[in-house]
Amino acid sequence: MGGKSRGPLTEPMFYVLMSFLKRDMCGTEITEFVERRTGGRVRLGPGTLYTLLGKFQDEKLIEETEVDGRKRTYHLTSKGRSVYQEELDRLRQCVQDADEEELP
């Protein structure tokens, strides 16, 4: 189930997947990454974050790599990287389409 068949990612979903591009992360690190990357525009509450992590695990976009007490660390799978790339390509196409339109 790639990005095209699952529909576009929400902004929080996109940034959560982005957070895993360079390294494995735990929930707190993901939240800090997203807030820092977006300049505070996107903020993830615990309910949103852990709902997304559970959904991404179910869809095999991420996998748990380490458990240390309550701290869980996750890794982006090749399927997750593909879904992220498909969404990035879609967003780039949207921007290109907008750039080609002239404002009145």
Walk along the chain (104 residues) in steps of 10 and give the mean pLDDT of each run.
66 98 97 97 95 97 95 97 97 94 76
Q: Which architecture characterizes domain 8-96 according to CATH?
A: Orthogonal Bundle (1.10)
Give me 66's structure tokens: 């380490």
Give me 25's structure tokens: 């992360």
pTM equals 0.89
Q: List the chain domain ranges.
A: 8-96
- Which residues, including other chains, have CB under 8 Å from residue 14's CB and lie 6 or more apart? 84, 87, 91
Question: What's residue 5's pLDDT?
Answer: 57
Which own/partner contact pairs does 63-68 have at CB distance under 8 Å and 24+ positions apart? Answer: 65/24, 66/24
Question: What's residue 7's pLDDT?
Answer: 84
Give me 87's structure tokens: 């969404």
